[in-house]
């Protein structure tokens, strides 16, 4: 128990910290900030200690015994792998927040939701059952909503989108409150699918617990077999995947993430790049093997994992193309995040499609790790760039490399990792996915992934070129004239993103050393006999391997080179006139506008129609008719009341009064009369006795 | 003549005097006397029935003891009312006391 307590505390600590934040805020704002970071630090240290000391296992306590629901934390390689990434990156971003959020309003709220988020994220990762996982899942969604809309006063500088920009007549500008709402509602679509799937699984398995779900897989009476008999197994798996699609911003629910950039840069880095959007990847990683075993009994593996892989590949390409034309630096990064998560989904899908499940599985998870590191670094650095230049548009930056050498170096390191340049962590993990798709025989997916790699190289260098290279823009020169020169961030901000950027390089350099042990560590999850995962070692010839490596690298470098010649050393002007392809990408493939037209405008039109035709046309008319009838009826019954009932009552009453007038004459009040009556009564009684009773 | 009949005769005479008094007299005190006479006509009957029964029982005499006590109380209450009425109205002629009549 003592050791499992550590695992519990990992996710409880930040939640407690969140609840205590308002209290600390009462003491002093400094105490509040330091305490908030302290709780995250505690969680991070606990996560590492747990990984090192606590033996793997499912630490449960009773929760609702009658429904076979237990609460618990699952200590296993996957959960601790995720928990450590989440906790340590959270810590760096919390430290960054101290400097970055200085002087902003609503800081108590900010720290509260940040810690609440971290706690819920760790709960999501560490939960040993689907129900607790879902609590964390919704908790992070709530925090995401609250933090996207942190600047809820909707000042223009916190919006995203080019002012006046419209697609199909739908405004592509988003205020913090609007995009928060959008994110919340869009992810909810996936969550409903996920919830249905969870309850379907529970209805047949009678348990939410991951381990029990796995152990109950075998045999013809298992939950999977029962689901499959009704033809529900594949739909359940696909509905389950709906949750990850929403949370991880995959096609077709990817549209919320780019607009979620209205939140502070630290929030974008933590929630919308490094951790929360990875929850979908994590959950697919958690339940993917279970579904693999379940589906393989009924030969439905390719359908499910095909969907995962194709959605991943499509999203990767789609988002990359949008990043290539984006104007705002954070939006480039957001599209890039969507694109990179697409890679991870592709890897997880390939796991089921290829002959070696674990290769795809670990490729996805490793890319998650490397992406979390370099993307967090990029976002944090971008946050500082935004702050310095007082603009979110890249064309209002430019030439920052001279003034901010360390920030630029950090962005360059992380950017190279994103591109997949050799020796950086992104190189290894992305290449693993690419070569897996090629060796698995999925050549179309490989083509899509390769195209994405090309565009990734292009947009990364484009972003760096426009912001860091060239000459300062007009906007920046005006700023400098007014005495605001670009300068390096303070240490609390600089260290986190520099550390992450260097970490990305270090992870890349040491990849050959740690990849083997880490793969074995993650793979140890599947040591039990139930996991009959295919593990044919794909051993390509050295030549194929080298060829694949050089192709993917070359493609990224070519993409980068094109961008280099186009955007470096030139000042970039944003133009609204674009060629058709650019316009198509710029308008986000018109998906956002179409969604808006169909769902938002459609809903409004439908409710207006309901109002006019049903409410006014039918209900109101019906109501009027009913009311009129009721009025007529009550008038009639009023007549009945006064004419019949009242009169009858009056008549009865008047008879009563006449009768009593008659009788009151008898009440003379003269005693003698009463006595005479009494005497007559006696005499009559006597007579009766004598003549009637006595006679017989 | 049977003993019971003689008792009845006395009782009837008492009752007749009482009723006569009630009918003819207007003085409240006289009426009270008449009421007492009617009472005692009834008491006499009860004792006679009880005593001349075969076998005789004491219940009648006990009952009449209670009735006498009650009659005494009634007379006391009646007299006190009459005194009060005479004080208020300087009059105890019942035919003139019609204040309570609606």
**Are the C-beta atoms of residues A530 and A214 closer than 8 Å to each other?**
yes
Q: Is A629 helix (H, G, I), strand (E, B) or coil?
A: helix
And the tokens for A601? 């405008």
What is chain A's percent helix, strand, coil content, to nearest 5? 75, 5, 20
The residue-averaged pLDDT of A192-203 equals 93
| pTM summary value | 0.77
CA-to-CA separations, A186 to A179, A192, A268, A279, A592, in angstroms, rounded:
10, 10, 17, 16, 11
Q: Are strands A170-171 and A57-64 parallel, antiparallel or unpaired?
A: unpaired
Whether residue A694 has pLDDT greater than 80: no
Q: A281 with A341: CB under 8 angstroms?
A: yes
Q: Measured between CA atoms, how close is A651 to chain B, in angstroms?
A: 24
| B34 is a domain residue | yes
- Give residues with Cβ within 8 angstroms of A607, minimum separation 6: none
Neighbours of A546 (CB within 10 A): 11
Bridge partner residues of A72 (DSSP):
A60
Distance from CA of A641 to the nearest CA of B (A): 35
Average pLDDT over residues A570-581: 76
Asked whether this complex has an ipTM greater than 0.90, the answer is: no
Give the whole-angstrom CA distance, residue A591 versus residue A594. 5
Residue B102 lies in a domain: no
So what's the pLDDT on residue A244? 93
- Which of A421, A273, A258 minimizes the C-alpha distance to A328? A258
The number of residues in chain A equals 696
CA distances from A202 to A67, A76, A209, A214, B78 (A): 10, 22, 9, 13, 93
Pick the most confident of A239-243, A478-482, A486-490, A530-534.
A239-243
A209: β partners = A129
**pLDDT, greater one: A270 or A539:** A270
pLDDT band at A140 (very low <50, low <70, confident <90, very high): very high
Inter-chain residue contact B95 with A670, CB threshold 8 Å: yes
Residue pair A455/A373 in contact by the 8 Å Cβ criterion: no
Q: Which residue in B19, B95, B101 is closest to A675 by CB distance?
A: B19
pLDDT at A529 over 70: no
Say what percent of chain A tops pLDDT 90: 43
CATH number where B26 lies:
1.10.287.3510
**Contact indicator for A120, A18 with CB cutoff of 8 Å:** no
Name the one residue in this structure whose structure tokens are 């913090």.
A176
Please state whether A230 falls in left (phi above 0), alpha (psi between -120 and 50) or beta: alpha
Token digits of residue A638: 């009023």
Instruction: Answer for the pair B77, B70: CB distance below 8 angstroms, yes or no.
Output: no
Which of B8, B17, B23 to probe the A interface (max A CBs under 10 A)? B23
Helical pair A279-296 and A329-353, crossing angle rounded to 10 deg: 20
Coil/strand/helix, residue A517 = helix
Taking 60 as the threshold, does the pLDDT of residue A473 lie above it? yes
| Nearest Cα to Cα of residue B58 among B47, B68, B69 | B47
- Note whether A125 and A79 are within 8 A (CB): yes
**Rg of the Cα atoms in chain B:** 17
Judge: A679–B95 Cβ closer than 8 Å, yes or no: no
For residue A69, the SS3 value is strand
Query: How many structural domains compose chain B?
Result: 1
Q: Which of A430, A445, A434, A452 is nearest to A335 (CA)?
A: A452
Minimum CA–CA partner of B96 in chain A: A670
At residue A530, the pLDDT reads 67
| A479: nearest Cα among A391, A405, A567 | A391
User: Is B99 an 8 Å CB contact of chain A?
Assistant: no
pLDDT tens column, A367-415 = 999 999 999 999 999 999 998 888 888 888 888 888 888 999 999 999 9
Tell the residue number behind the tokens 């020796």, with chain if given. Answer: A423
The answer to the question of residue B13 being in a domain is yes
Q: pLDDT at residue A533 above 80?
A: no
Residues of chain B with pLDDT under 50: none
Minimum CA–CA partner of A661 in chain B:
B102
pLDDT higher than 90, residue A300 = no
Question: 3-class DSSP state for residue B73?
Answer: helix
What rounded mean pLDDT belongs to chain A?
88
CA distance A623 to chain B (A): 58
Q: Tell me the per-residue pLDDT of A669-688, one tens digit each, with 9 for 90 and over.
A: 777 788 888 889 988 998 99
- Model confidence at A246, pLDDT cuts 50, 70, 90, reads very high
A231: tokens are: 């033809």
**pLDDT value of position A539:** 61
3-state secondary structure of A59: strand
Tens digit of pLDDT for each residue in A509-525? 998 888 888 888 888 87
Alpha helix (H) ranges present in A390-481?
A: 400-403, 405-419, 425-439, 443-468, 474-481
The minimal CB distance from A679 to the residues B19, B31, B100 is found for B19
- Mean per-residue pLDDT for A198-206? 91
Q: What is the pLDDT of residue A686?
A: 87
CB A216 within 8 A of CB A207: yes
Average confidence (pLDDT) over A484-502: 88
A243 in Cβ contact with A194 (< 8 Å) = yes
Residue A2: pLDDT above 70?
no
Q: Is there a contact between B101 and A676 if contact means CB atoms under 8 Å apart?
A: no
A664: contact with B, CB 8 A cutoff: yes
Average pLDDT of the segment spanning A580-600:
86
For residue A112 the two structure tokens come to 């509260």
Q: In this structure, how many other beta carbons lie within 10 angstroms of the beta carbon of residue A690?
A: 10
Given CB atoms, is B37 within the 8 Å cutoff of chain A? no
The pLDDT of A110-127, averaged and rounded, is 93
Give the residue numbers spanning the domain of B8.
3-96
Structure tokens at A171: 């405004």
Q: By the CB < 8 Å criterion, does B90 face chain A?
A: no
């Amino acid at each position: 128990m003592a050791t499992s307590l550590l695992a519990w505390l990992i996710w409880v600590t930040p939640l407690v910290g969140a609840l205590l934040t308002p209290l600390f805020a009462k003491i002093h704002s400094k105490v509040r900030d330091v305490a908030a970071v302290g709780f995250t630090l505690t969680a991070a240290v606990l996560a590492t200690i747990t990984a090192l000391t606590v033996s793997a296992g499912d630490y449960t306590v009773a929760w609702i015994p009658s429904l076979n629901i237990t609460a618990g934390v699952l200590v296993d390689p996957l959960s601790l792998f995720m928990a450590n990434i989440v906790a340590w990156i959270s810590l760096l971003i919390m430290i960054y927040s101290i400097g970055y959020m200085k002087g902003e309003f609503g800081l108590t709220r900010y720290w509260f939701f940040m810690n609440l988020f971290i706690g819920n994220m760790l709960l999501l990762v560490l939960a040993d059952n689907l129900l607790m996982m879902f609590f964390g899942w919704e908790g992070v969604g709530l925090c995401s909503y609250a933090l996207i809309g942190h600047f809820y006063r909707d000042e223009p500088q916190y919006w995203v989108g080019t002012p006046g920009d419209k697609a199909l007549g739908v405004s592509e500008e988003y205020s913090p409150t609007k995009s928060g709402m959008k994110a919340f509602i869009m992810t909810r679509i996936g969550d409903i699918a996920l919830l249905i799937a969870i309850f379907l699984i529970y209805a047949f398995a009678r348990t939410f617990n991951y381990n029990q779900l796995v152990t109950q897989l075998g045999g013809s009476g298992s939950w999977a077999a029962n689901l499959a008999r009704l033809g529900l197994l594949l739909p359940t798996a696909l509905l389950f995947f709906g949750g990850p699609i929403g949370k991880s911003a995959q096609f077709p629910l990817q549209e919320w993430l780019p607009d979620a950039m209205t939140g502070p840069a630290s929030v974008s880095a933590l929630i919308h790049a490094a951790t929360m959007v990875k929850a979908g990847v994590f959950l697919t990683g958690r339940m993917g093997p279970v579904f693999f075993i379940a589906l393989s009994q009924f030969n439905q593996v390719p359908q499910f994992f095909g969907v995962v892989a194709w959605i991943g590949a499509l999203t990767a390409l789609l988002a990359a193309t949008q990043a290539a034309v984006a104007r705002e630096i954070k939006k480039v990064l957001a599209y890039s995040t969507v694109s990179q998560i697409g890679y991870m989904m592709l890897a997880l899908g390939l796991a089921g499609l290829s002959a070696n499940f674990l290769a795809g599985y670990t490729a996805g998870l490793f890319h998650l790790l490397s992406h979390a590191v370099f993307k967090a670094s990029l976002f944090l650095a971008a946050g500082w760039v935004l702050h310095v230049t007082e603009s979110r548009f890249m064309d209002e930056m430019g030439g920052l490399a001279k003034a901010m050498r360390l920030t630029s170096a950090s962005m360059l390191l992380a950017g190279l990792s994103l591109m997949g340049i050799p020796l950086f962590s992104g190189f290894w993990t992305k290449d693993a996915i690419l070569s897996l798709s090629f060796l698995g025989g999925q050549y179309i997916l490989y083509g899509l992934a390769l195209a994405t790699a090309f565009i990734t190289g292009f947009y990364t260098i484009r972003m760096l070129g426009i912001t860091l290279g060239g000459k300062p823009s007009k906007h920046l020169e005006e700023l400098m004239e007014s005495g605001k020169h670009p300068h390096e961030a303070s240490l609390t901000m600089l260290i986190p993103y520099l550390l992450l950027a260097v970490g990305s390089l270090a992870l890349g350099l040491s990849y050959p050393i740690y990849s083997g042990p880490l793969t074995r560590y993650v793979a140890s999850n599947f040591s039990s006999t139930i996991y009959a995962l295919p593990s044919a070692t794909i051993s390509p010839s050295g030549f194929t391997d080298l060829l694949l490596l050089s192709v993917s690298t070359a493609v990224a470098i070519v993409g980068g080179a094109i961008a280099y010649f186009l955007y470096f050393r030139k000042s970039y002007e944003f133009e609204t006139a674009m060629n058709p392809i650019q316009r198509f990408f710029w308008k986000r493939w018109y998906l956002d506008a179409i969604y808006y037209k169909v769902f938002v405008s459609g809903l409004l039109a439908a409710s207006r129609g309901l109002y006019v035709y049903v409410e006014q046309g039918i209900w109101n008319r019906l109501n009027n008719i009913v009311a009129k009838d009721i009025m007529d009826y009550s008038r009639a019954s009023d007549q009945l009341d006064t004419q019949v009932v009242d009169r009858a009552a009056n008549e009865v009453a008047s008879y009563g009064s006449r009768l009593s007038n008659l009788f009151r004459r008898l009440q003379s009040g003269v005693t003698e009369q009463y006595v005479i009556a009494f005497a007559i009564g006696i005499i009559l009684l006597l007579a009766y006795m004598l003549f009637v009773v006595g006679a017989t | 003549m049977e003993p019971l009949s003689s008792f009845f005769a006395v009782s009837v005479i008492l009752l007749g005097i009482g009723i006569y008094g009630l009918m003819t007299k207007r003085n409240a005190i006289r009426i009270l006397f008449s009421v007492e006479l009617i009472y005692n006509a009834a008491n006499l009957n009860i004792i006679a029935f009880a005593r001349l029964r075969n076998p005789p029982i004491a219940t009648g005499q006990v009952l009449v003891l209670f009735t006498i006590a009650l009659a005494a109380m009634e007379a006391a209450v009646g007299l006190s009312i009459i005194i009060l009425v005479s004080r208020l109205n300087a009059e105890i002629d019942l035919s003139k006391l019609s204040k309570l009549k609606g």
